[in-house]
Structure 1
Amino acid sequence: MIIRRAFFYWQFPAAVILPAWILVGWGVFAATGWQIIGLIVGVMMLTVAMLAVAGLIFARKDVRAERAVSWLDVGLLTVLQGLIVAIGFFTPATALLSTLSVVAVIALFWSGIIQLVVETRRRVRATLAAFEAQAQQATRLQSPPRKPRMDGEYIVIETSERTVPPRI
């Protein structure tokens, strides 16, 4: 539970700190100026993607109630954050690591969507079952339906409406 809670609290600061590490790391490990200028756009997109994923994770009620992410989230966040740290060292494998980090962000995004839909579906079904149980209980508590009264004969008067042709 401690690990899951740590990732819960770490995911929003990580969306700012880890992309900043890439900029610092590339500056320290001798990237050229043009590479760093191009990297700024990528780092901004990474920050937005990490914030979106963190928002999807935070949108789940179970996550907010427990203040802990799921184990699947822990695994995927670990992979993504490890890749981001490795990208910051500006090695010859940086292109491959960047591609893998894009795949990890996509996996985190869809994992978040699926987990959110499954949890929401479960909560809606539970709510509908509770409403149905209340409705059944209310119908049991009501008195039985009354039978129609038979007071004798009734007179039914049928009327017909006469249509008037429009005047020209």
Structure 2
Amino acid sequence: MFLRRAVYYWQLIAALLLPLWLFVGWGIWGGGAWTFVGVVVAAPVLFIAILVVTLIIYGRSEVRAANAVSWLDVALLALWHLSIIGLGCFGATGSLFAMLTVVTGLAAFWGTLWQLVRGFTRRARQTLREFEQLAGQTPPRGHVSSPEQGDVYVVYESRDQRRA
């Protein structure tokens, strides 16, 4: 549970730090001017992508209730964030890490979106079941309960065509 909560709080920090890491890595390990242009383009895109995935995760009620992400989120985010860190090292495997960053980013997006939809449908089914259960317990039309149960007022409304 500690790791899942740590990742829950790390997400917003990562949205800021990981794009900045690309600039730091470019400054440390160097790169040409075209690499810097690539970093200037990639950093805002990466910021938005991480923020979108974070908001999808925060959109799930079970995540907000527990203040912890799921184990699938931990795995997807760990792979994605590690690939971004590898990308920021600008070594000989830069193109491999770039491809890995894109693939794991897409996997994180679709994995978190799938969990959001699955949780929503599960809650919708549960609500519908409760509604149907309550609908089955309502008294028939025109039924007035006894005074011990409390007063029930039945109001019938119809449109009278003659008054119009």
TM-score bucket of the superposed structures, by smaller chain: 0.7 to 0.9
Q: How many residues align?
A: 144
The percent of aligned pairs where both chains have the same amino acid is 41
Counterpart of 1:128 in structure 2 is: 128
1:56 aligns with 2:56: yes
Match for 1:98: what amino acid?
Answer: A
1:87–1:94 Cα contact (<8 Å) kept: yes
1:80-159 to structure 2, matched below 5 A, reads 80-139=80-139, 143=143
Task: Classify the secondary structure of the residue corresponding to 1:92.
Answer: coil
Cα distance in structure 2, aligned partners of 1:93 and 1:20: 20
The CA deviation at 1:33 is 2.7
Cα separation, partners in 2 of 1:71 and 1:135, compared to 1, 3 Å: same
Match for 2:92: what amino acid?
Answer: P
The CA deviation at 1:140 is 6.9
The CA deviation at 1:39 is 1.2
Cα distance in structure 1, aligned partners of 2:108 and 2:34: 30
The CA deviation at 1:38 is 2.3
1:76–1:108 Cα contact (<8 Å) kept: yes
Match for 1:29: what amino acid?
Answer: W
Match for 1:64: what amino acid?
Answer: R
The CA deviation at 1:142 is 7.4
Deviations 1:87-133 (A, max 9, x none): 11110101110111100010011111110111000001111111111
1:27–1:36 Cα contact (<8 Å) kept: no
1:26–1:88 Cα contact (<8 Å) kept: yes
The CA deviation at 1:143 is 4.5
Counterpart of 1:40 in structure 2 is: 40
Q: Which runs of 5+ in 2 are unaligned?
A: 145-164
Task: Classify the secondary structure of the residue corresponding to 2:133.
Answer: helix
1:31 aligns with 2:31: yes
Task: Classify the secondary structure of the residue corresponding to 2:138.
Answer: helix
Of 24-33 and 107-116, more deviation after overlay is shown by 24-33
